[in-house]
Chain A
Amino acid sequence: MTIDADTIRHLSEVSVSVELQTEDMTLNIGPQHPSTHGVLRLVARVDGERCHDVQPVIGYMHRGYEKLSEVRTYPQITTIVNRIDWVAGYANEVPFIVAAEKLMGVEAPERAQYIRLILTEMARMASHLVFMASYPLELGAATPLFFALRERERVLDLLEGVTGGRFHPNFNRIGGVKPAYGAGSSTRKMIQDLPAGFLKDTRDAMGRVLGVCDELEDLVAGNEIILARTKGVGILPPEVAVSYGVSGPNLRASGVSFDLRRAESYLPYESFDFDVITGENGDCWDRWWVRLQEIREAARIIVQAVDGIPAGPLQAKVPKIIKVPKGETYVRAENPKGEMGYYLVSDGGTGPYRLKIRSASFSNISVLPYLLEGILVPDIIATMGSLDFVLGDVDR
């Protein structure tokens, strides 16, 4: 068979097209990887730098808290729920306690509710500051970490001063906040109030946090590399977000003005003046920007709460042995990561019959296969980091 010039040209074209048909490679990211905030495994099918399909594999941190709650008493469960989202441990306690209080028909005194509100906002601040530290780090900018963590430590000092714990405060009780020792027959009952100088220290710390927000904005918003890597990357449309149950700052960054602090009444937020921050494009940049503004709003709320905190008791009268009457309810709260809720079913005993824990990060990262479809490999890290999840909150 003779080969003429036309055939050769044709053959070479065939070989070129065969070369371009590359095979997909399966790339495992994690379970141990610095950008995964815990133990998350991503199985990515990549073609060169382009990712076709990403499946998150979760469960490495699954501790079975829903089953465990069925064999614990109500006062014991606050220690468990502290460990769900450990970056904002305090905020996890409030919706659970409020759910139990609702079933019991108990309401915490106003001062206790204000203390809960102040500490919840501090937990939000601490959580968002961790994001402010870790997200630029994942994109290669190490400096913001030192600024953000320095002021986060001030906030955690305040939390520790009140509750005794930086990460796992275990400070809420049904009907109020933690009593100090002294409920015996011969000792005077002492209820732990805010430590001396707390209100002044808080005002000072809020000034410093607002200062670091400005510094972070200069450092990050003025960084062209970060802007190039986050603007227009990982866009999450609002209709997709709600269908996956994405909540909190991630939802608001997509332009949905919805905040459970406004919609629900688990804490007296209605008497506070603050803005619900929304983004425009729902990209990684908006998710960073919304969280930065939320730190500023949290500082605004805390300063108002410190100025207006009423005097009064810290504990409502409750029986010594907590038995929650038969019933079921769902209480949800705006946690730093999004909607945190507890579906509490009681059959009248000392512990729940069933406790469904709705955690924010679980739904927030279930959207990852959608977000990472067709994305470049370096953008996996940029997109994943921008969702600000904690694996304890995913796996429960």
Chain B
Amino acid sequence: MTSSPSETTTHPLQEYADLVAETVGGEATVAFDAIKVVVPLDRWVDVHVTARDRLGLVFFSWLSAIDWANEVAVGDPPGETVEERFELLTSLGDVTEGRRVTFSATVDKTSPVVPTLVEVYAGANWHEREAHEMFGIVFEGHPNLTHLYLPESFIGNPLRKSFPLLSREVKPWPGTVDVEGMPGIADDEPTTENPEA
């Protein structure tokens, strides 16, 4: 059902992933039935024009980012040390074969400025506004880079890992208690999930 790049057998998607990587100029990995192509940020717009015009990836699914950070204000920090950066992601697809590819680029945290994709995919408009308010990434050339969900007076970028979740600061979420094992059953014993509390 699943496969990872470490497996020796070739994943059925690998051939297409290599084709995409070669056409746009990036590095492809296939993991868990998903293709991810890492591309350099300075060719971000070119890559999407190529993907749309030469690979037929005309369907703009979404754009978002991941904040890779070692210090987090809320939630669990990553298990091992990571490179401090934003990872910018877009997901594109076609509407014939059912192909889908995630494009990824690294954005510097100190100056998170990237060119806009609005001219390539009209749907990028709202997604970039969301990424702008949630992560503080600036999309150069965007026609209307204002807040989408949050009021204009809102300060901070909520999806950054350094942004505290206030209710969690005040009181730890009691839900963490729920995943403790039932009395009389060892935690590593294979079973179904907890019964309803």
Contacts and interface: CB of A to CB of B under 8 A. Distances in A.
Interface string B156-196: 00110001010010000101101101111101111111111
B96 to A, nearest CB: 7
Interface in B134-172: 134, 147-151, 158-159, 163, 165, 168
Given A243-B123, A328-B32, A67 B64 contact: no
Contacts of A64: 158
Given A71-B173, A330-B102, A258 B95 contact: yes
Contact of B122 (A107, A173, A240): A240
A114 B182 CA distance: 30
B126 interface: yes
Contacts of A247: 59
A317 interface: yes
A260 B99 CA distance: 10
A67 B158 contact: yes
B98 A102 contact: no
B158 A358 contact: no
Interface stretch (B19-27, B39-47, B75-83, B105-113): B75-83
A255 to B, nearest CB: 11
Interface residues of A, number: 78
Given A102-B1, A245-B59, A330-B100, A343 B64 contact: yes
B15 interface: no
B148 A245 contact: no
A183 B195 contact: yes
Interface stretch (A120-128, A174-182, A195-203, A293-301): A174-182
Contact of B175 (A76, A243, A318, A363): A76
A18 to B, nearest CB: 33
A353 interface: yes
B16 to A, nearest CB: 14
A366 B61 CA distance: 12
Contact of A320 (B59, B95, B149, B189): B189
Nearest to B78: A347
A179 B150 contact: no
Interface size range on B against A? 35 or more
A71 B74 contact: yes
Contact of B187 (A68, A244, A317, A320): A320
A251 interface: yes
Interface in A175-226: 175-176, 179-186, 189, 191
A362 B33 contact: no
B33 to A, nearest CB: 7
A184 B182 contact: yes
B72 to A, nearest CB: 9
Nearest to A103: B32
A370 B187 CA distance: 55
Nearest to A256: B95
A239 B95 CA distance: 11
A232 to B, nearest CB: 23
Nearest to A69: B75
A189 B192 contact: yes
Contacts of B149: 58-59, 62, 395
B66 A319 contact: no
A250 B194 CA distance: 40
B122 A244 contact: yes
Given A245-B59, A320-B185, A356-B89, A179 B66 contact: no
A242 B59 contact: yes
A324 to B, nearest CB: 11
A347 B66 CA distance: 13
A35 interface: no
B32 A329 contact: yes
Nearest to A59: B149
Contacts of B150: 59, 62
Residue from B60, B89, B192 having most chain A Cβ neighbours under 10 A:
B192
Contacts of A176: 192
18 contacts: A59-B147, A175-B193, A176-B192, A181-B195, A184-B184, A184-B195, A242-B58, A244-B60, A246-B123, A264-B98, A320-B185, A320-B189, A320-B194, A329-B32, A332-B61, A341-B61, A353-B66, A363-B123
Interface of B: 1-2, 4, 31-34, 36, 58-62, 64, 66-67, 74-76, 78-79, 89, 91, 95-98, 100, 102, 121-123, 125-126, 134, 147-151, 158-159, 163, 165, 168, 173, 175-176, 178-179, 181-185, 187-196
